[in-house]
Amino acid sequence: MQQHLSAIKDSKFCPIWHDQDDVRPAELPPLSDDQVCELLIVGGGFTGLWAALQVKERQPEVDIILIEKTFIADGSSGRNGGFLNSSLAHGETNTDHHFPGEADKLHELGQQNMAELLATLERYNIDARYENVGETEVATDQYAVDEMRKHYQEEKAAGDDVVWFDQAQMQAQVNSPTYLAGLWRREGKDGIVDPARLCWGLKKVLLELGVRIFEHTPLDSCQPLGTDKMQSQCLGYTITSKKVLMATNAYRNPIRAVSRTTIPVWDYQMATEPLNQAQLDAIGWHKTRHAIGNYANMFHYYRLTKDNRITWGGGGAVRYYFNKGTDFAKYADIPERFEQLSKEFFQTFPQLAGLKFSHRWSGIIATSTRFCMVPGATYNNRLAWAVGYTGLGVGASRFGARIGIELLGYQPSEILKMQFVTKKPMPWAPEPFRWFGVKFTQNALIKADRNNGKRGLWLKMLDAMNLGFTC
Ligand SMILES: Cc1cc2nc3c(=O)[nH]c(=O)nc-3n(C[C@H](O)[C@H](O)[C@H](O)COP(=O)(O)OP(=O)(O)OC[C@H]3O[C@@H](n4cnc5c(N)ncnc54)[C@H](O)[C@@H]3O)c2cc1C
């Protein structure tokens, strides 16, 4: 059997982050009668959890119910790479494209969001295994070296804390024969976390603050009741509330305006068994532990866990399935996706031949046409949402939650006037155009990666319409 196949043969189909019996909390019982509250939050990922906490901190008297259709951290929030990045709008290039003139403000808000997030972990003693290691982008093609160098020079000139590694320096940091250069952004507090521990830590705090949480409680419908209430149905029971926050991200939502904002893009990930000392020495990464991504459209992202496993995701395995497919039984465990990931892993680290993957899993990335979070509100601001972080929501979701609760009237601030909040994203096309469009774009991105980054006509057209995703 080829080594990339034998490496995944015995892997467990479960996110590495979920497989921690020592910290995984008991699941709470589902809703079993009608309820009344001031604020109903739908979705027990980062957005929902942070929203509940920020409301409680602003106005402790608010009575909150949070419902989650499966269990807390079962959505993207417990399935991601754990890269904690301060960017709110998916990087500087994307920020400039979509929110001209707001880059500085968004940068400042991103730093503030990160500082407050970390302060909250301290305040409530949440051990999310945060490591302030920054993020290193690696070049594996000559065009990537050239483009990354330009970024480095611009960022350096702007006063950012960035370090350039030539090939030898990069390989001395992390030894992959594929690396030609590296750009270490060690600025600020960017780093890595264990995302499930973060969710479960927040869950514990919310319970202590009196938030009522019902797991295994899917929202079926939600509509206005009179002029000042909302009525939500779950499992045959009714929750009557003054306000509702939809924190459902990539999943279908009974409110059309929420559902049509994003498309679900599946991303597959794996984790190796813990590396032994010889394996660690062979790559040298454990000395710096930077989070790593390669400069490409279809990029891989990878990091070390506390016990020195490597988590590895992204690359060519990312997929959109027809008609917003989110069926776990159908799409979550597709062998070819993991085979491809495994193959790409051993191309990057051939010296780790023989290493096995212990876990494999997948999750759904809520992708908006502006490649970052989209907030909104309806029914006279009785119902709000914050969804669509695309691939960068671990940190940004706390800010999304803040916008969501401010839209509902919990101490609104100046941020609600920013284009980031007021500008409506371009809607996704209906099927089958959407499927063809995404497929065509993905193929064009793969082609650009193979062709020294040269973007063909289709990508140039998308760029001109501000719909092009750039690395
Ligand atoms: C594989 C993968 C890797 C990623 N890596 C990174 C990374 O390294 N760094 C980064 O910044 N971002 C990353 N992301 C993105 C990041 O994980 C998300 O942006 C973030 O977790 C979004 O949080 P959320 O709470 O909005 O959504 P979710 O965590 O998806 O939470 C939504 C919740 O709503 C629940 N729900 C949905 N519908 C209903 C309903 N009708 N009733 C009740 N509950 C409902 C779901 O079950 C789910 O738990 C990654 C995403 C994936 C999938």
pLDDT at position 232 = 98
**Is residue 341 within 6 Å of ligand 1 at its C-beta?**
no
Backbone angles phi, psi at 343, to 5 degrees: -60, -45
DSSP code for 131: B
Three-class SS string for 15-36? CCCCCCCCCCCCCCCCCCCCEE
Residue 36, Ramachandran bin (φ over 0: left; ψ between -120 and 50: alpha; else beta): beta
pLDDT at position 471 = 41
Query: Mutate which of 72, 76, 197 to test ligand 1's pocket (most atoms within 8 Å of Cβ)?
Result: 76
**Is residue 392 within 6 Å of ligand 1 at its C-beta?**
yes
Q: What is the mean pLDDT of residues 53-65?
A: 98
Q: Please tell us whether the domain made up of 35-83+196-262+370-422 is placed in CATH 3.30.70.330.
A: no
Residue 393's pLDDT band, with cuts at 50, 70 and 90, is very high
**pTM (2 decimals)?**
0.96
Are 3 and 346 in contact by the 8 Å Cβ rule? The answer is yes
Contacts of 24 (CB under 8 A, 6+ apart): 18, 196, 200
How far apart are the CA of 76 and the centre of ligand 1, in A?
3
The closest-lying atom of ligand 1 relative to the alpha carbon of residue 254 is 41
The closest-lying atom of ligand 1 relative to the alpha carbon of residue 266 is 53
Q: Ligand 1 atom 11: the closest Cα is on which residue?
A: 392
**Is residue 315 within 6 Å of ligand 1 at its C-beta?**
no
**Is residue 269 within 6 Å of ligand 1 at its C-beta?**
yes
Condensed to tens digits (0 to 9), the pLDDT of residues 165-200 reads 999 999 999 999 999 999 999 878 999 999 999 999
How far apart are the CA of 50 and the centre of ligand 1, in A?
13
Peptide bond between residue 425 and the one before it cis (omega within 30 degrees of 0) = no
Query: Mutate which of 77, 221, 233, 267 to test ligand 1's pocket (most atoms within 8 Å of Cβ)?
Result: 77
pLDDT at position 186 = 81
**Is residue 85 within 6 Å of ligand 1 at its C-beta?**
yes
**Is residue 449 within 6 Å of ligand 1 at its C-beta?**
no
- The encoded tokens of residue 83 equal 């890269």
Residue 438's pLDDT band, with cuts at 50, 70 and 90, is confident
Say yes or no: do domains 3-16+133-191+263-367 and 35-83+196-262+370-422 share a fold: no
Q: Ligand 1 atom 2: the closest Cα is on which residue?
A: 80
Q: What is the mean pLDDT of the chain?
A: 94
Q: What is the mean pLDDT of residues 111-124?
A: 98
Tell whether the model's pLDDT for residue 470 goes beyond 70. no
How far apart are the CA of 198 and the centre of ligand 1, in A?
13
Percent of the chain with pLDDT over 90: 83
Are 109 and 415 in contact by the 8 Å Cβ rule? The answer is yes
Which secondary structure element, helix H or strand E, spans residue 225, and what is its range?
strand 221-225
Q: What is the mean pLDDT of residues 239-249?
A: 98
**Is residue 404 within 6 Å of ligand 1 at its C-beta?**
no
Q: Please tell us whether the domain made up of 3-16+133-191+263-367 is placed in CATH 2.30.30.830.
A: no
Domain boundaries, the chain: 3-16+133-191+263-367, 35-83+196-262+370-422, 433-464
